[in-house]
Structure 1
Amino acid sequence: MKSEKVTKHIISWLKNYAEKAKVNGFVVGVSGGIDSAVTSTLCAETGFPVLCLEMPIHQGVHQVNRAKEHIEQLKERYTNVSSDEINLTAVFEEFICAVPASEDEAKVNLSLANTRARLRMSTLYYFAGLHGYLVAGTGNKVEDFGVGFFTKYGDGGVDLSPIADLMKSEVYNVAEVLKVPASIMKAQPTDGLFGDSRTDEDQIGASYNELEWAMLQAENGKTVADFEGREKEVFTIYKQRNAANKHKMDPIPVCIIPADLK
């Protein structure tokens, strides 16, 4: 990949989109991960105002520290970047008290993890509405169109997606061009939605490099029967996730009423 040219292309795309939409800037949720670091820096490069929001909910200290380091670096490099921290922990806890309990712990934990992402989405749109900003998404191609590793109407609820055509490895290439902090470059990817140390690989069962490989194999028409051992295992994980999460990646189904019934 021609990383520098790709970086300039995305910056130009963001700038042109904002100009045509006649908005005032961008708002980005910054988590301390590589995707939000790259997205926020790309937005900053446009020259438009960029608001970086930290929205901790029982967040791990290392994630918080990386997010703060990145935001401070951005504010030193770009005069158009501002930031705010909205601690949503109390809101999250109040939500838990308001909803009924369940004995199915696994389903509760997953539902609450997705609730965290949806609370953050609501917060991003609150600030977007205040300032006339666009919510910039931070999903990459493998997450958004491969395994659907995002929360529907959570981190999937955005106005535009600048890095959604980049594989995870390509996001790292762009990060090098943009001089993203080394601590973020080295950190294990995690969605941080469970309040523990689990990584994305722990949840999915495969690394992003493996998932990229599987996505390319699927696009080339390969099937599970074409592989053995770990490759077969990874390809199966990819295909199962891809199938299960189609409802996130495809447009919302609309019941079309036949003309003769209207």
Structure 2
Amino acid sequence: MQTEKVIDHIVNWLKDYATKAGVNGFVVGISGGIDSAVTSTLCAKTGLDVLCIEMPIHQAESHVSRAQEHIAQLKKRFSNVKDTRTNLTPVFEEFKTEVLFDADQATVDMALANTRARLRMTTLYYYAGLYKLLVAGTGNKVEDFGVGFYTKYGDGGVDLSPIADLLKSEVFELARHLDVPESILNATPSDGLFGDARSDEDQIGASYPELEWAMKMDEAGKTSNTFSGRELEVFNIYKRLNNSNKHKMIPIPICKIPINLS
């Protein structure tokens, strides 16, 4: 990958899109992870307004410290970057007092994890409306179009996706060229939606390099009959998640009314 040229291409794409949309810039949720760090830096390089928002909900201290380190570094490098912090923990706790929990604990935990992501999406759009900004998505290609590892109308609810055509390994490559803090480069990927130490790999059952391999095999038309051992296990994980999360990756189904019923 021609990293510097890819960076320039994305930055120009962002700036062109925002200019044509008649907005002032971008708002980005900062998690302390690699994807939000790269996305916010690319947005900052446009020279347009960038608002970085921390939105903790019972967040691990390591996530908070990495997010704050990145924001501080970004503000020092780019005069067009501002930040704010919205503590959503009280909102989340109040929400929990008003809903039912009549399901098994794993189901409840997943619903609440997705609720965290949707509260953050609502916050991002509040500030986007306040300051005439676009919500920049932070999903990469494996997450957005491979295994669907994001929340529908949560972190999947965005105005534009600058890194969604990049594999996770390519995001890391961009991060090194963009001088993303070492603490973020070395951190284990985690969505932080469960309030514990579980990583993305813990949840998915495969690492990002393994998922990238499986995605490439699937795109090449390979089937499970081709593989054995760990390769077969990873390929099946990828196919299962790709199939079950298709509803996130395709347009909302519309029930078309036949002409003879109009």
Q: What are the within-5 Å matches in structure 2 for residues 55-70 of structure 1?
A: 55-70=55-70
- RMSD, aligned CA: 0.5
Which string of whole-angstrom CA distances, capped at 9 and with x for unpartnered residues, describes residues 69-119 of structure 1? 000000000000000000000000000001012241000000000000000
CA distance in 2 between partners of 1:198 and 1:2 (Å)? 33
* Amino acid in structure 2 at the alignment position of 1:85: R
* Amino acid in structure 1 at the alignment position of 2:200: D
- Within the alignment, does 1:162 sit opposite 2:158 as a pair? no
Q: Which residue of 2 aligns with 1:193?
A: 193
Aligned-pair CA distance for 1:260: 1.9
* Amino acid in structure 2 at the alignment position of 1:30: I
CA distance in 1 between partners of 2:103 and 2:133 (Å)? 41
Q: Which residue of 1 aligns with 2:26?
A: 26
Q: Secondary structure at the match of 1:68?
A: helix
Q: What are the within-5 Å matches in structure 2 for residues 245-260 of structure 1?
A: 245-260=245-260
Which string of whole-angstrom CA distances, capped at 9 and with x for unpartnered residues, describes residues 49-74 of structure 1? 00000000000000000000000000
Q: Which residue of 1 aligns with 2:238?
A: 238
* Amino acid in structure 1 at the alignment position of 2:125: Y
Which string of whole-angstrom CA distances, capped at 9 and with x for unpartnered residues, describes residues 140-165 of structure 1? 00000000000000000000000000
Q: Secondary structure at the match of 2:97?
A: helix
Change (3 A) 1:18 1:99: same
The TM-score, its normalising length taken from structure 1, stands at: 0.99
CA distance in 2 between partners of 1:101 and 1:224 (Å)? 38
Q: What are the within-5 Å matches in structure 2 for residues 1-262 of structure 1?
A: 1-262=1-262
Aligned-pair CA distance for 1:261: 1.4
The TM-score, its normalising length taken from structure 2, stands at: 0.99
CA distance in 2 between partners of 1:130 and 1:155 (Å)? 19
CA distance in 1 between partners of 2:50 and 2:126 (Å)? 15
Q: Secondary structure at the match of 2:165?
A: coil
CA distance in 2 between partners of 1:133 and 1:126 (Å)? 10
CA distance in 1 between partners of 2:188 and 2:73 (Å)? 20
Runs of 4+ in 1 over 6 A off after TM superposition: none
Determine what percentage of the aligned residue pairs are the same residue.
68
CA distance in 2 between partners of 1:5 and 1:101 (Å)? 50
CA distance in 2 between partners of 1:101 and 1:195 (Å)? 18
* Amino acid in structure 2 at the alignment position of 1:173: E
Give ranges in structure 2 of 5+ residues lacking alignment: none
CA distance in 2 between partners of 1:218 and 1:103 (Å)? 35
